[in-house]
Structure 1
Amino acid sequence: MSKRAKIILIVVAVLFGAVLIWFAKKNKKNVIAYDTEKPFKTTIVKKTVATGKVVPLEEVEIKPQIAGIVDKVIAEEGQIVKAGDLLATIRVVPNEQSLQSARGRINSVKVQLENAKTQFERNKALFENGVISSQQFEASELSYNQAKTDLQNAQNDYQIIKKGSAGSSEANTNIRATASGMVVEIPVKKGYQVIQANSFNAGTTIATIADMNKMIFEGKVDESEVGKLVKGTDLQVSLGAIENKKFPAKLNFIAPKGTEEGGAVQFKIKADVTLDDNYFIRAGYSANADIVLEKKDSVLAIKEALLRFDKKTEKPYVEVKNGEDFEKKELELGISDGVNIEVLEGVTADDEIKVWNKASKEKKENKN
């Protein structure tokens, strides 16, 4: 082999070795170093949020005792009233048929009264002369007195149909408050036609009066959480109209029957709200109530982000550092607040748990 051929062979060998070294470095896997975190002691509170509104505990609807047209509205929304205060007046529009019938009854009773009076006066003279017995005289007197009473009743009925009252001081046309409190709503105006409550109709509401010093929260919770609620539980109520303020409340009612809404069964709850004198709470404010379902103090916990679930068994596990490697350990879990979760079995406070998808700075530098 010539000298030139040897040189070419050596050059080829060197180039081939350089290529092998380059490929080896190219395909060499970087050792990934993961950060770790240790379990810690903390307090875990499991909560749920009920959406609803704040309404008065006591609310009374004022309805008229007679049909007619609103003649005057005296009260105003937001006004404080006492029981017996005048709220509005009603002008009666009589039914013509009923009015004519009442007039006819008056005329008929007048005829009966004249006849009874004539018989009474005749029998009185006969009785004084000893012609008839006292029993016959007393019977005619009774008929005469009864006829006078019937006439008075017929005239009263006529006045009630025509004016709404028979002249008494407490006229049915005067709509008065039946309870003390604030007038929260007046759904009628002057000229509105109203009807009284009866067996077939609830009647027209003239005004709504409520005690604004006693408010309750009304909301709904899902069926998956209602079983964990207990009467007397403390709540924190947040109002949409008042920022950065929570009002304490106490749960006092859990509905025994739920209603289906959007494919889920919801149960109504009520809670007494403790008011703050610095804030005026209006009826109907939208509200959210934070309800503590379960609370545990000083429990061993980890962040939920550290958890993984076995694809076959679906059991939760973490990877704990064991020397240079990580060892898989299945966990027994307790309650969670959405960020931290209680660990009952599987790891100790000294274990170093792999932080998933969070490589060390060395790995990031190698990538760059």
Structure 2
Amino acid sequence: MTPTPRPASRRRLALILLACAAGGAAYFGLRGERVEVVTVEQGPLRQAVVASGRVRTPLRVDVASQITATIKAIRVREGDLVTPGQALIEFDAAEWQASVAQARASLRQAESRLQQISTTGLPLAEQSLRQAEATAQQTERQFKRVSELVAKGFYSPAQLDDAQRNRDVAASQLQAARVQLANNQPAGSEVQVARSSLEQARAALGVAEARLAYATLRAPVAGRVLTRSAEAGDTAQPGKVLLTLAPDGQTELTAQIDEKNLGLLALGQTAQVSSDAYPQARFPAELSFIAPAIDAQRGSVEIRLTVPAPPAYLKHEMTVSIDIETAQRKDALSLPCDSIRDPAGSPWVMLARDGKTVRQPIKPGLRGAGRCEVLEGLAAGDTALLAGTAIAEGRRISTVDRK
């Protein structure tokens, strides 16, 4: 059976426990509250604006039909490289080919008509004029002879009427022959009509050939096929976009930057870019455009960067990570940004100095990757509490470096 402690023993045990508690409280009171701290360091610091963006083609060329026709064949697919004049889409061209054949036949007919005037019409008109002149001279002499005989009473007046009628007919034929000859001259109306018919035939052939050319859509520029919105057998309508090309030329990147970083950006700044598909490969770019307006809904501003030497793997609409260097210090005094309090107002840090907390106003500078430059208020080796540590100034503390 365990003996029951005596009252004197219980008092001694309570005094011992009380002494231990008082000693522990005194020990921890001397040491203070245990807090994590970060150290102010001196060294190189790089300030950058990082954003996610996409590859953008500044120009796009829409390829559309100008006629209503059935698509016979499509010679390219998305991603194909094309050269100027390369056939992209072919339509059923039977109707346009027949129109061209008909126009060519009309042209040959008009050429033959003009050739006929110069080789046959003009000589015949000249010959007809000579015959008409001879006939007119003969009928004139016959009329004079009959007139003399009628006056002497040898012929009747009726014979004189016949002779006069023959003379008038010959004169009319002579006039017609002269007009016909004039019409067949190079400046005559027959030639002018023939030339006009020839020009009309040539124009009709040009129209037919142009419409036949519409039956094959060709690449207007060198570039890459971005989209294809038709298949063989579809009916194309005038103005309907069938293919979209990205012409060879400058490649751009576009991104949305938080407006709070707008003051850090300037045209001409360099950037290092990597694609999500090839994160280990980086290529340079240059900031070339900052939008003049802010997107109020997103609180962002659009920027564009030019890529002077785009890598071969870069594709349209590819997602990229953009790191724009805005400033750099070779020997900056900095500490982790999460130790700065009230950064938007009057920034300050809570220092751990001689075992106590000390409030210290600072003047921040560049903001790097997780670290912020301090222009005034701190020295290398100072230790600061994290901004999330709620503790008043003048409190005794014990510190441990943040891992």
TM-score normalised over the length of structure 2 = 0.62
Q: Secondary structure at the match of 2:72?
A: strand
Task: For 2:329 and 2:368, locate their aligned partners in 1 and report how far apart those are by CA, in whole Å.
Answer: 11
- Contact 1:63-1:206 at 8 Å conserved across structures: yes
Match for 1:260 among 279, 287, 295?
Answer: 295
Q: Secondary structure at the match of 2:193?
A: helix
- Contact 1:184-1:210 at 8 Å conserved across structures: no
Task: For 2:44 and 2:28, locate their aligned partners in 1 and report how far apart those are by CA, in whole Å.
Answer: 40
Query: In the superposition, relative to structure 1, how do residues 274 and 157 fare at CA in structure 2: closer, same or farther (>3 Å)?
Result: closer
Match for 1:205 among 219, 228, 242?
Answer: 242
Query: In the superposition, relative to structure 1, how do residues 234 and 187 fare at CA in structure 2: closer, same or farther (>3 Å)?
Result: same
- Contact 2:287-2:303 at 8 Å conserved across structures: no
Paired position in structure 1 for 2:55: 54
Q: Secondary structure at the match of 2:190?
A: helix
Match for 2:280 among 241, 244, 250?
Answer: 244
Task: For 1:48 and 1:280, locate their aligned partners in 2 and report how far apart those are by CA, in whole Å.
Answer: 25
Deviation of 1:69 after TM superposition, in Å, equals 2.1
Task: For 2:276 and 2:256, locate their aligned partners in 1 and report how far apart those are by CA, in whole Å.
Answer: 17
Deviation of 1:242 after TM superposition, in Å, equals 1.5
Task: For 1:206 and 1:350, locate their aligned partners in 2 and report how far apart those are by CA, in whole Å.
Answer: 64
Deviation of 1:267 after TM superposition, in Å, equals 2.1
- Contact 1:68-1:93 at 8 Å conserved across structures: no
Q: Secondary structure at the match of 1:205?
A: strand
- Contact 1:64-1:206 at 8 Å conserved across structures: no
Q: Percent identity?
A: 17
Deviation of 1:239 after TM superposition, in Å, equals 0.9
Q: Secondary structure at the match of 1:164?
A: helix
Paired position in structure 2 for 1:180: 222
The aligned amino acid for 1:337 is G
Paired position in structure 2 for 1:82: 83
2:305 maps to 1:270? yes
Paired position in structure 2 for 1:318: 350
Q: Which has the higher contact order (CA 8 A, sep 6+)?
A: 2
Task: For 1:334 and 1:181, locate their aligned partners in 2 and report how far apart those are by CA, in whole Å.
Answer: 46
Query: In the superposition, relative to structure 1, how do residues 92 and 288 fare at CA in structure 2: closer, same or farther (>3 Å)?
Result: same
- Contact 1:236-1:249 at 8 Å conserved across structures: yes
What is the root-mean-square deviation of aligned Cα atoms in Å? 4.4
Task: For 1:149 and 1:139, locate their aligned partners in 2 and report how far apart those are by CA, in whole Å.
Answer: 15
The aligned amino acid for 1:141 is E
Can you give the 5+ residue segments of structure 2 that lack an aligned partner in the other structure? Answer: 1-5, 133-173, 390-396
Q: Secondary structure at the match of 2:264?
A: coil
Paired position in structure 2 for 1:293: 326
Instruction: Map residues 161-172 of structure 1 onto 2, 5 A cutoff.
Output: 164-165=211-212, 171-172=213-214
Deviation of 1:353 after TM superposition, in Å, equals 4.2
The aligned amino acid for 2:211 is G
Deviation of 1:172 after TM superposition, in Å, equals 2.5
Q: Secondary structure at the match of 1:178?
A: coil
Query: In the superposition, relative to structure 1, how do residues 153 and 353 fare at CA in structure 2: closer, same or farther (>3 Å)?
Result: closer
Deviation of 1:173 after TM superposition, in Å, equals 1.3
Paired position in structure 2 for 1:231: 267
- Contact 1:179-1:209 at 8 Å conserved across structures: no
- Contact 2:50-2:322 at 8 Å conserved across structures: yes
Task: For 1:285 and 1:325, locate their aligned partners in 2 and report how far apart those are by CA, in whole Å.
Answer: 53
Q: Secondary structure at the match of 2:379?
A: coil
Task: For 1:156 and 1:142, locate their aligned partners in 2 and report how far apart those are by CA, in whole Å.
Answer: 21
- Contact 1:61-1:207 at 8 Å conserved across structures: yes
Per mean C-alpha deviation after superposition, the further-off stretch among 237-246 and 24-33 is: 24-33
Instruction: Map residues 7-156 of structure 1 onto 2, 5 A cutoff.
Output: 21=19, 24=22, 30-31=28-29, 32=32, 38-56=39-57, 59-91=60-92, 124=125, 129=132, 130-132=174-176, 137=183, 140-142=189-191, 144-145=193-194, 148-149=197-198, 152=201, 156=205
The aligned amino acid for 1:299 is A
Q: Secondary structure at the match of 1:191?
A: coil
- Contact 1:69-1:93 at 8 Å conserved across structures: no
Task: For 1:55 and 1:13, locate their aligned partners in 2 and report how far apart those are by CA, in whole Å.
Answer: 85
Query: In the superposition, relative to structure 1, how do residues 28 and 42 fare at CA in structure 2: closer, same or farther (>3 Å)?
Result: same
Query: In the superposition, relative to structure 1, how do residues 11 and 262 fare at CA in structure 2: closer, same or farther (>3 Å)?
Result: same
Query: In the superposition, relative to structure 1, how do residues 147 and 246 fare at CA in structure 2: closer, same or farther (>3 Å)?
Result: closer
2:329 maps to 1:329? no
Task: For 1:34 and 1:12, locate their aligned partners in 2 and report how far apart those are by CA, in whole Å.
Answer: 39
- Contact 2:351-2:357 at 8 Å conserved across structures: yes
Query: In the superposition, relative to structure 1, how do residues 30 and 69 fare at CA in structure 2: closer, same or farther (>3 Å)?
Result: same
The aligned amino acid for 2:217 is I
Quick check: which one's helix share is greater? Answer: 2
Query: In the superposition, relative to structure 1, how do residues 25 and 15 fare at CA in structure 2: closer, same or farther (>3 Å)?
Result: same
The aligned amino acid for 1:290 is D
Paired position in structure 2 for 1:343: 374
Paired position in structure 2 for 1:4: none
Paired position in structure 2 for 1:281: 314
Deviation of 1:49 after TM superposition, in Å, equals 2.1
Deviation of 1:23 after TM superposition, in Å, equals 6.8
Task: For 2:74 and 2:188, locate their aligned partners in 1 and report how far apart those are by CA, in whole Å.
Answer: 52
Q: Secondary structure at the match of 2:295?
A: strand
Query: In the superposition, relative to structure 1, how do residues 228 and 94 fare at CA in structure 2: closer, same or farther (>3 Å)?
Result: farther
